[in-house]
């Protein structure tokens, strides 16, 4: 008995289509094996190894940022403290604050106008770099001026100044108003020293005494006890009488006075001086004492200085007591006046 499917189809009839095979179901993915895990590990290994370095970089950046913030805060506090007492520091802070405000304002306007942030930052950096620097501190300016060469091309050389001096000496129409050194000397005198000079100009030479050891021993070897005792401070009305010896030394240094070893002609000038307490005390300090009389005079240079600088023109024409000129050294060198 034949099956229906085994029946022969009539000639010319189309063959029946074979039934399509059902599609194969996709195989489930195999679980990752050791080889797959090895490839993934190879890809992630550099990143894993870089983690400690990245951590170090991040920690270092955080540390330096914190340190920068602390240092900046301390510097700002210190500068604010200095600005309270230092006008230059205050001007510097104001200058920097003005720059910062202007840069931030320009940056905000650029961003609001649609300019990219990167371009705005570049432009702001260029603007900040174009500001002028704050002037240097005056102290540094003075140090730089001192360290710089002292030659000034606009200032004539010594030889040129000498030629100008000789040229003025040949000018018969020029009028001299005192010695050129008088202006400098006025700045080197104390007010009491001007009073001493006026006393010497108007009242003539002044007495001075030295107290020395006397008696039989003093004839062999006399020692100086108190030199240069005078009444010049009281007679001139000096404010600081105890500074009179220093005043006289300065006047001698300037060449305005000189100390004579000779006494004045009138002995009456010494009687009042020898009765002064300091002279009496010096005489009583030793068993035997002797008083040596000296005198103090104006030099011709000092007398001209007083007439030119310390009195008016009418008084300068008057006649004043005469002073002895200092003796000239035989060798031609300046005289050395000693009190012994």
Q: Give residue-wise pLDDT tens across range 284-339.
A: 998 889 999 999 999 999 999 999 999 999 999 999 999 999 987 544 444 444 44
What pLDDT band is residue 214 in, cutting at 50, 70 and 90? confident
State the Cα torsion 260-264-267-269 to the nearest 10°.
-90
Cα 116 to Cα 196: distance, rounded to the nearest angstrom: 83
Of 289, 297, 291, residue with least CA distance to 320: 297
Per the prediction, the chain carries an average pLDDT of 74
pLDDT, residue 250, reads 97
Cα 106 to Cα 127: distance, rounded to the nearest angstrom: 9
Q: Give residue-wise pLDDT tens across range 89-120.
A: 667 766 666 666 676 667 667 667 767 766 66
Cα 243 to Cα 338: distance, rounded to the nearest angstrom: 20
Of 257 and 154, the structure prediction assigns the larger pLDDT to: 257
Domains belonging to the chain, first-starting first, are: 42-129 (no CATH), 181-316 (3.30.110.190)
């Amino acid at each position: 008995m034949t099956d229906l499917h085994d029946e022969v189809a009539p000639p010319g009839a189309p063959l029946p289509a074979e039934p399509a095979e059902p599609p194969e179901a996709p195989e489930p993915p195999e679980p990752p094996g050791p080889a797959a895990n090895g490839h993934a590990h190879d890809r992630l290994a550099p990143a894993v190894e870089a983690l400690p370095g990245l951590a170090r970089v991040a920690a270092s950046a955080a540390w330096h940022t914190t340190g920068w913030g602390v240092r900046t805060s301390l510097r700002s506090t210190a500068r604010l403290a200095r600005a309270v007492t230092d006008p230059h520091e205050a001007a510097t802070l104001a200058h920097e604050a003005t720059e910062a405000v202007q840069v931030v304002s320009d940056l905000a306007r650029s961003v609001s106008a649609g300019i990219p942030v990167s371009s705005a930052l570049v432009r702001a950096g260029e603007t900040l770099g174009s500001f002028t620097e704050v002037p240097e501190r005056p102290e540094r300016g003075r140090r730089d001026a001192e360290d710089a060469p002292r030659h000034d091309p606009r200032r004539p050389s010594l030889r040129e100044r000498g030629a100008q001096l000789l040229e003025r000496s040949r000018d018969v129409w020029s009028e001299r108003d005192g010695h050129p050194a008088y202006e400098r000397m006025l700045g080197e005198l104390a007010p009491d020293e001007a009073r001493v000079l006026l006393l010497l100009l108007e009242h003539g030479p002044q007495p001075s005494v030295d107290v020395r050891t006397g008696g039989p021993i003093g004839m062999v070897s006399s020692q100086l006890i108190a030199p240069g005792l005078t009444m010049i401070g009281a007679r001139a009305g000096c404010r600081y009488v105890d500074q009179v010896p220093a005043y006289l030394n300065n006047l001698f240094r300037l060449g305005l006075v000189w100390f004579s070893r000779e006494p004045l002609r009138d002995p009456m000038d010494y009687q009042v001086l020898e009765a002064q307490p300091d002279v009496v005390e010096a005489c009583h300090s030793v068993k035997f004492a002797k008083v040596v009389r000296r005198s103090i005079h104006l030099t011709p240079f000092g007398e001209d200085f007083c007439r030119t600088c310390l009195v008016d023109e009418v008084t300068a024409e008057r006649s004043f007591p005469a002073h002895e000129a200092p003796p000239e050294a035989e060798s031609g060198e300046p005289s050395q006046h000693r009190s012994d």
